[in-house]
């Protein structure tokens, strides 16, 4: 029998800068609150044990490894799925990775951020991933993306084409671009007829950036199910899978894609303009 509803809790934490011990210690309280609220899935922000650090090497670890094991223990203790993240050891640079643990502690999925944030020099310190896994939670097809990935529609469309119904997006999205965050969460939901759940941190990080929360769950119409303000705590909402599946059945927009035409358009693109000639 298909699951018809999924309760998701998004954690808006004020991450202690580069302090895994403190952040993991506080994680138990958030997960306990989410479990009491009836959440089946709990989503932490991007690099929730560290903050969005550009000095990842000292914190790099295997996956699974200590952080994943600690999160898995919380999954077992509270009987929930958890979305965590970690600096994964990798050459030539570590990877910004998100992972999912199950109520029995099993590692369900691992996703490595495909698009390092070059505007913030993340690409100089982290290697990008090259896969976009689809996985299941209680029979619901799901996917993961991380923060800056939200600006790129292709991975979301790839997940939708493989049947994904819910995508979780851990993030460290700063206040100065928060309108883009909210708009893009809704856009990815609308264009793929999926629920998109974005968990963003609050507070100020060690690099001096401010984060306003605004974590949100969007349904398959792009409408807000639940949304947070700039306060630390949980954003909890229910994804209606029946409504999502009915909408996809009634309005099968994804079937109207013309992939061959898109490929041809890409091939017809002219080379980039030589900006040196226009200075």
Nearest to 241 by CA among 111, 137, 131: 137
Can you say whether the dihedral through the CA atoms of 135, 138, 140, 146 is positive or negative?
negative
Is 255 one of the annotated active-site residues of the chain? Answer: no
Residue 129 structure tokens? 């991933």
Q: Three-class SS string for 205-237?
A: CCCCCEEECCCEEECCCCCEEEECCCCCEEEEE
Which is catalytic among the residues 68, 132, 142, 147?
Answer: 147
Beta bridge partners of 43: 10, 83
Q: β-strands 41-43, 140-144: how paired?
A: unpaired
Is 147 one of the annotated active-site residues of the chain? Answer: yes
Specify burial of residue 141 (Cβ count, 10 A radius: 0-12, 13-18, 19+). middle
Distance CA 183, CA 173 (A): 13
Which is catalytic among the residues 46, 88, 122, 165?
Answer: 46
DSSP tag of 272? P
Distance CA 258, CA 62 (A): 40
Which is catalytic among the residues 68, 88, 113, 132?
Answer: 113
Is 142 one of the annotated active-site residues of the chain? Answer: no
List residues with catalytic annotation: 46, 113, 147
């Amino acid at each position: 029998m298909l699951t018809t509803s999924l309760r998701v809790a998004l954690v808006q934490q004020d991450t202690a800068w580069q302090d895994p011990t403190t952040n993991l210690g506080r994680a138990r309280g958030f997960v306990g609150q989410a479990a009491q609220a009836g959440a089946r899935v709990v989503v932490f922000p991007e690099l929730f044990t560290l903050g969005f650090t550009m000095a990842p090497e000292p914190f790099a670890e295997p996956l699974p490894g200590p952080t994943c094991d600690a999160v898995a223990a919380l999954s077992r203790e509270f009987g929930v799925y958890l979305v965590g993240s970690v600096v994964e050891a990798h050459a030539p640079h570590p990877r910004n990775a998100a992972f999912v643990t199950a109520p029995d502690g099993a590692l369900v999925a691992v996703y490595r951020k495909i698009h390092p944030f070059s505007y913030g020099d993340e690409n100089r310190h982290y290697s990008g991933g090259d896969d976009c896994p689809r996985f299941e939670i209680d029979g619901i097809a799901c996917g993961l993306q991380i923060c800056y990935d939200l600006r790129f529609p292709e991975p979301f469309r790839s997940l939708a084409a493989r049947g994904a119904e819910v995508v979780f997006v851990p993030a460290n999205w700063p206040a100065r671009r928060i309108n883009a965050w909210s708009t893009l969460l809704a856009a990815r939901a609308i264009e793929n007829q999926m629920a998109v759940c974005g968990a963003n941190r609050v507070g100020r990080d060690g690099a001096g950036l401010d984060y306003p929360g605004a974590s949100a769950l969007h349904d398959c119409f792009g409408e807000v199910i639940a949304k947070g303000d700039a306060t630390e705590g949980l954003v909890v909402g229910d994804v209606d899978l029946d409504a999502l599946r009915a909408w996809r059945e009634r309005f099968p927009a994804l079937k109207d894609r013309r992939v061959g035409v898109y490929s041809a358009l890409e091939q017809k693109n002219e080379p980039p303009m030589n900006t040196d000639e226009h200075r």
